[in-house]
Amino acid sequence: MSVIDKVVAAVTPPETAEQRAEARSKARAAAGYGDWLSMILDHHLRLEDAFAAVKSAPDSAARLVAQKKLGVVLTGNAIAEESVVYPALAQAGEKGHAGMGYTEQVAVKMQVVAIAEERLRP
């Protein structure tokens, strides 16, 4: 974690599980059946499930399979958000949020590479 990351983390603490659940509930209420927001929310649930599968893997072989699946889901999420969501945010006047989203996706991609490198170590 860089010095800048540490400062940002100290100044903007992460949301609590309760705050996240409330935000998700509000988003679900705003989403329509099969619309773009419901698809994003569903995809984020798949991301959470993929992370949970890595954490709960009973052995290294199962963890490797779960990590590969997580990488696929993360990559799909990044492509979707970078291609559709962030440009739409920018067009709606939310350029700061769009920029933050792009920055977060870069960090995620770097973490995916780190996971892959970890798997390759003897």
Instruction: Give the model confidence (pLDDT) of 100-114 as tens digits.
Output: 888 888 888 888 788
pLDDT in tens, 3-56: 555 655 655 667 888 988 898 899 999 989 988 889 889 998 999 999 999 999
The answer to whether residues 75 and 110 touch, using CB atoms and an 8 Å cutoff, is: no
The domain tally of the chain equals 1
**Verdict on whether the full-model pTM lies above 0.85:** no
How confident is residue 59, by pLDDT bands cut at 50, 70 and 90? very high
How confident is residue 62, by pLDDT bands cut at 50, 70 and 90? very high
Q: Is residue 75 part of a domain?
A: yes
Q: Is residue 8 part of a domain?
A: no
Q: Is residue 6 part of a domain?
A: no
User: pLDDT value at position 1?
Assistant: 56
Q: Is residue 65 part of a domain?
A: yes
Please give the torsion angle defined by the CA atoms of residues 106, 104, 74 and 86, in that order, rounded to the nearest 10 degrees.
Answer: -100
* Residue pointed to by tokens 């492509």: 79
Q: Is residue 83 part of a domain?
A: yes
Q: Is residue 37 part of a domain?
A: no
Q: Is residue 90 part of a domain?
A: yes
Q: What is the 3-state secondary structure (H, E, C) of 37-99?
A: HHHHHHHHHHHHHHHHHHHCCCCHHHHHHHHHHHHHHHHHHHHHHHHHHHHHHHHCCCHHHHH
**Residue numbers of the domain that contains 79:** 47-120
The answer to whether residues 84 and 92 touch, using CB atoms and an 8 Å cutoff, is: no
Q: Is residue 16 part of a domain?
A: no
